[in-house]
Every structure is written in C-alpha cells, then in structure tokens.
C-alpha cells in the first residue's frame, strides 16, 4: 500500500524534503515503522526523525508511533508548533 509523508518547518528544511510517497508491505504498518524506515535514509534523517519532541500526525490528527496505517493515509512529521 502507498502512504504520503509530509514534513514541515525546520524538519522540512533539515531534510530538504517537503513530501514523499512510500510503498509499504500490507501488514502491520505503523507510524513508528515508517519513521524507522525513513531513518535509514542517512545520518540527517536519522538525527531529525529521532528528535524526542518531533510530532507525528496521521490524516490531520496527532498520533503516536503505535498508530496503525491504512492505504492512502497522510502522515506528517513536524517540530513543536509555534503559531499564535
């Protein structure tokens, strides 16, 4: 199945990537597994995606690593928010 992964703000800048598509095995996919897979892309990816204050969202809701994925989900990783 395919999912979209989006990056914002400093995370987007550090990774030099705002969006990518990932093809995943069908079974037992979670946000944490996507994060681990992306960390294999290189030292910058490993560093940025292992930051403890990184926020993950799935389909516009904040979720944790155990959140299970479905085909077509939109995942996002971003730093703590600073609007207002």
Partner 1 sequence: MDAVIDIAVLREDFDPGALQEALPPASGGAGAVATFTGYVRGQDDRGALNWMELEHYPGMTEASLRRIADEACARWGLLAVTIVHRTGRLFPGERIVWVGTAAMHRGEAFAACEFLMDYLKTRAPLWKRESGEWGETWVEARDSDSDRAGRWQAP
Residue 25: CB minimum distance to partner 1, A: 26
Rule CB under 8 A: say whether 17 interacts with partner 1.
Answer: no
Q: Which CB sits closer to partner 1, 2 or 18? A: 18
Span near partner 1 by CB under 8 A; candidates 2-10, 19-27, 28-36, 38-46: 2-10
DSSP 40: T
d(CA 80, CA 84): 13
For residues 10 and 47, is the Cβ–Cβ distance under 8 A? no
All residues at 6 or more sequence positions from 27 whose CB lies less than 8 Å from its CB, including other chains: none
Q: Which CB sits closer to partner 1, 26 or 61? A: 61
Beta pairing, strands 55-58 & 19-23: unpaired
Residues that bind partner 1 (CB under 8 A): 6, 8-10, 13, 53, 55, 57, 60-62, 76, 78-84
């Amino acid at each position: 199945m395919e999912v979209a992964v989006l990056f914002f703000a400093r995370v987007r800048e550090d990774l030099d990537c705002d969006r990518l598509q990932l093809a995943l095995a069908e079974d037992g996919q979670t946000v944490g597994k996507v994060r681990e897979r992306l960390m294999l892309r290189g030292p910058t990816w490993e560093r940025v995606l292992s930051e403890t204050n990184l926020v993950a969202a799935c389909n516009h809701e904040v979720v944790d690593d155990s959140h299970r994925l479905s085909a077509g989900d939109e995942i996002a990783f971003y730093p703590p928010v600073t609007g207002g």
